[in-house]
A and B are shown apart, each in its own frame.
Chain A
Amino acid sequence: MDLAIQTQQLKKRFAQRVKGRVKWVEAVAGVDMAVQSGEIYGFLGPNGAGKTTTLRMLTTLLPMDSGEAVVAGFDLRSQAHMVRRHIGYVSQLGGADLNATGWENLILAGQLYGMTSTQVRNRAKELVEVFDLGQIVQRGARTYSGGQRRRLEVALGIIHRPEVLFLDEPTTGLDPQNRHNLWQQIRQLQSTGTTVFLTTHYLEEADALADRLAIMDSGRIISEGAPDQLKQQVAGDVIVIEDSFNPNQLSWMARLLEKEAFVRRIHTEEGKLLLYVADAAANMQEVFKILHHHSLRPQRVSLSQASLDDVFLKATGRSLRDVGQEGEGQ
């Protein structure tokens, strides 16, 4: 099996009632992708981009409207039962049974995949070790901290050694330390041959974890490739000019620099001006010259590599950080 997941024109739309009228919203508008066996594949995009809907279809939870999909070698439509045997899924909600102990959760999860009691007990012990649950596994899951619960939930998702593991926003709500630990464990899983498909709206996460990623917006994949490759597609370098500028000053500066031939694109953020240029080191002098000419002496001028946010920005005209915050406020 070369491909762990393959989709063609995957589509899903939902009826939404707006002021009494039924409006159809295309949550997933024709997704094509091919995930190699053994890779970590990331879905990056703002909330509402259709990441979770895609993932729900791929995990058999939601019927697709149209399109084709093969997961772990089985047809999603006609062999859903076989797909379920070969995948693991950790939802955004988590899914630990809070009224049971961690141990009971693990045992039941394994048994539902048809493991014998000996098999499941050995495997559960192994996972308790890997996810460092020894201290708490006999306690009710309700008493767990956020990080502990996440670890249990990931353990529940892989107890049957799935070929393909789906993780929906796995580190949302975790502190940096727990987040890095989980990244470590996800990489560990990959080294044992598991294909990992994860969604995230954290740029750092996609950058740090994914071998390849698809950037999603409004139900479509707008860009796909290895993180470095994607970043190179955007102008290589960024000059960041920072000071306590007010928005008027910023837009004035933007208009000023826009005219220069070496500036490919300009983006302004709070107190910040980002210039996308072909060769930052060479263009830096020019920028200084222009600024000095207008008696501007910004506090900080720095160089940075294009980030995944810049990739998103180029494709959609919006910054993922801004969109992400909007989404979370909803």
Chain B
Amino acid sequence: MTLVRDVRLLFWRKMRETLRQPVWIVSGLSTPLLYLALFDPLLKGLHSPLFGGVHGNSVMNVFVPGILALMAFGSGMGAGWTVIWELQSGVIERFRVTPTRRFSLLMGPVLRDTVMFVIPAALVLFVAHFFGFDLHWLGLIILFILYCMLTAVVSAISGSLGLVLQDIGSLAAAVTGLQLPLTLLAGVLLPLSIGPNWLKVIAHFNPMYYVVNASRVLAAGSIQNAQVWQAFLVMFPLLVVVLWWATRVYGKVVA
């Protein structure tokens, strides 16, 4: 299978690049750990039944899945920047002249971003456990699958936007412009169940909302739950459509 081989080769190219720049690994980890260290104490001061009552006792059980969602989004977000650099240095054009499928060109960075979500996320869970986060293994595995799909979607979109816009300024505006409403409307920091109705209605149009909802349920160890299959029902078709579109963008782009 040349496709699998090419994806593997291009994935390792990006992986080597990441491992050469440990700064990114450190900065990727510092945000979630800072949230745990500096934001969690604030949450403890709130009345936990206000937003945590449904899912368990610890505030952490509500808070950590949200942090993971931020990490999943953030890990895919940067793809567009590197794509623009590689477009400018001609790397993408050079690969596009080889017989490699455009899909493998896309999947190299997408898989790298996914791996670069999983590793620090696992570390965060480990730390959070000491802050009182309960580990439900099966639920967490399904949660990770869901979040990896989210990273892949964000990475493919960011990368394609980079190819289309070809300008760092416009890309930054587009990506950060999407990030805040999408994460807030997913209830990343506080569950939207405590919010007004109009907010919940808008949130239903945000795919990430379903993912974050499902992740709270999964983190609590509940697997056979409507919210879980709803999340997969939203994310799977979304992933397929986004990858299809991004592959087409890779096929057309000209520097």
- Contact digits for A108-148, partner B, Cβ 8 Å, 1 yes 0 no: 11011110000000000000000000000000100000000
Q: Chain B interface residue count: which class?
A: 20 to 34
CB contact list, A74-118 vs B, under 8 A: 81, 84-85, 87-89, 91-100, 104, 108-109, 111-114
A113–B97 touching, CB < 8 Å: no
A47 CB to closest chain B CB (Å) equals 16
Residues of A within 8 A of B10 (CB): 108
Given contacts A81-B99, A104-B16, A113-B98, contact A96 B91 (CB under 8 A): yes
Q: Is the interface of B mostly helix, strand, loop or mixed?
A: helix
B254–A56 touching, CB < 8 Å: yes
A112–B89 touching, CB < 8 Å: no
Q: A100-B17, A104-B16, A108-B13 are in contact. List 7 more A-B contacts (CB 8 A).
A: A84-B98, A89-B94, A91-B93, A93-B88, A98-B89, A104-B13, A140-B20
Residues of B within 8 A of A195 (CB): none
Instruction: Give A residues with C-beta under 8 Å from B.
Output: 56, 59-62, 81, 84-85, 87-89, 91-100, 104, 108-109, 111-114, 140, 156
C-alpha gap A60/B254 in the complex (Å): 11
Nearest residue in A to B5 (C-beta to C-beta)? Answer: A111
B254–A62 touching, CB < 8 Å: yes
A196 CB to closest chain B CB (Å) equals 15
B94–A95 touching, CB < 8 Å: yes
B205 CB to closest chain A CB (Å) equals 33
C-alpha gap A112/B10 in the complex (Å): 9
Instruction: Give B residues with C-beta under 8 Å from A.
Output: 2, 5-6, 9-10, 13, 16-17, 20-21, 86, 88-91, 93-100, 254-255
A112–B95 touching, CB < 8 Å: yes
Most buried by B among A94, A108, A109: A108
A110 CB to closest chain B CB (Å) equals 10
Residues of A within 8 A of B17 (CB): 99-100
B253 CB to closest chain A CB (Å) equals 9
B99–A61 touching, CB < 8 Å: no
Residues of B within 8 A of A112 (CB): 6, 9, 95, 98-100
B93–A109 touching, CB < 8 Å: no
A179 CB to closest chain B CB (Å) equals 20
A100–B93 touching, CB < 8 Å: no
Residues of A within 8 A of B93 (CB): 61, 91, 93, 95
Which 4 A-B residue pairs are closest in the complex by CB-CB distance?
A93-B90, A95-B94, A95-B90, A89-B97
C-alpha gap A60/B100 in the complex (Å): 13
B9–A114 touching, CB < 8 Å: no
A59–B97 touching, CB < 8 Å: yes
A99–B20 touching, CB < 8 Å: yes
A60 CB to closest chain B CB (Å) equals 7
C-alpha gap A88/B255 in the complex (Å): 18
Query: Which of B6, B16, B89, B94 is within 8 Å of A156, CB to CB?
Result: B94
B94 CB to closest chain A CB (Å) equals 3
